[in-house]
Structure 1
Amino acid sequence: MNRYILDLFSLVVEAATVAHGKQTRKGNGTPYITHPFTVALLLLQAGCSEETVAAGLLHDTIEDTNLSFEEIEHKFGQQIARVVRECSEYDKSKGWEERKQHKIDHLHTVSLEACMVMCADKLHNIRATVREFEAKGDDVWGRFNRGKEKQEWYYRSVVDVLGKRVPDFPLYSLLKQEVDELFR
């Protein structure tokens, strides 16, 4: 790995860690930063470009922190900022169903890099849910804004669209398998 890439990753790791600060993961209290780190590692293992891996580290910053699109663009360039924006929810003041339907519809038009980041994001999320389900059973669904049926609708819809956009992406088949197993 060349020095530019190492410098980029160092700066992106720092920005994501500072931005997410003391946030924790919903339901289990794990430091939130473990999620973008895992997403980035999944993307790296899948052979994605350095810019896509960097966007994976930053994918939740626009919607969940004070880090803005403009700051990301200034610090890390247009390509990374564009992918992060494509992965962000458009309006968190809207209801859950409207936000999730918009995300599903949006998947049809975003870049392939954003599809890859969202695939890694959903794969990590579903794996965390599977682990909690194995420990708590159906009680796990109580931590979500919507119950099991809505979660199943959302994840199966995402899998359906990603299957049309990035069917050969290595993480896609893993996501599909995990969703099928959880919601069988």
Structure 2
Amino acid sequence: MDVIEKALQIASKAHQRQYRKGTDIPYIAHPVAVGMLLMKAGYRDEVVAAGILHDTDEDTDYKLKDIKHDFGEEIAEIVAGCSEPDKSLSWEDRKEHTIEFLKNASSDIRAVACADKLHNIRSIIKDYERDGDEVWQRFNRGKEQQEWYYTNLVESLRHQGSFSLVEELEKEVIRLFKR
């Protein structure tokens, strides 16, 4: 079995019975979409697999030690780089950490993190077009804080130079917040 198929199977089981925030969409749609964005952008199979697995450590019982055992050090490191290290911190502190960390992260970690945020913001745009400002009610922080976070993420992700996914993310950030 190739690494992408294995990641799909494991992530599907790990995210079973989970749904996207405020929707009835099975959660697995998000990691699969992240993997598809990475695949479409031409990333290696290991990066695509890490994209599919990126939320398992934070949101399921399938942890980094399991990823390392089943997929190896490289994929585990990419997933670790896309995970918030300390969920006990405030939302602001966690987001500031992410922004700072991604400035100097490896290109693979930045690609997976960017694909994750790109799919998230596209989902928000779709929901915003349907529900209007009510969409901001499902987040811990409102529109202004989300705009701050996504705007700073774009700058952080391009700190080492621009790449196609961050260009797409910037367009979507402008589309959502500069209406």
Q: Which runs of 5+ in 1 are unaligned?
A: 1-5
TM-score, length basis structure 1:
0.94
Residue type of the alignment partner of 2:80: R
* Cα offset, 1:166, TM superposition: 4.5
- Give, in whole Å, the separation in 2 of the partners of 1:133 and 1:159: 20
Q: Is the 8 A contact 1:37 1:57 kept in 2?
A: yes
Structure 2 matches for 1:92-111, cutoff 5 A? 92-111=87-106
Where does residue 135 of structure 2 map in the other structure?
140
Structure 2 matches for 1:172-183, cutoff 5 A? 172-183=166-177
Structure 2 matches for 1:1-184, cutoff 5 A? 6-167=1-162, 169-184=163-178
Runs of 4+ in 1 over 3 A off after TM superposition: none
- Aligned residues between the structures: 178
Residue type of the alignment partner of 1:76: F
- Give, in whole Å, the separation in 1 of the partners of 2:102 and 2:113: 9
Change beyond 3 A, Cα 1:27–1:126: same
Secondary structure (helix, strand or coil) at the match of 2:2 reads: helix
- Give, in whole Å, the separation in 2 of the partners of 1:44 and 1:10: 13
- Give, in whole Å, the separation in 2 of the partners of 1:49 and 1:174: 19
- Give, in whole Å, the separation in 1 of the partners of 2:161 and 2:134: 33
Q: Which runs of 5+ in 2 are unaligned?
A: none
- Give, in whole Å, the separation in 1 of the partners of 2:100 and 2:2: 35
TM-score, length basis structure 2:
0.96
Give the percent of matched residue pairs that are identical in Structure 1 and Structure 2: 49
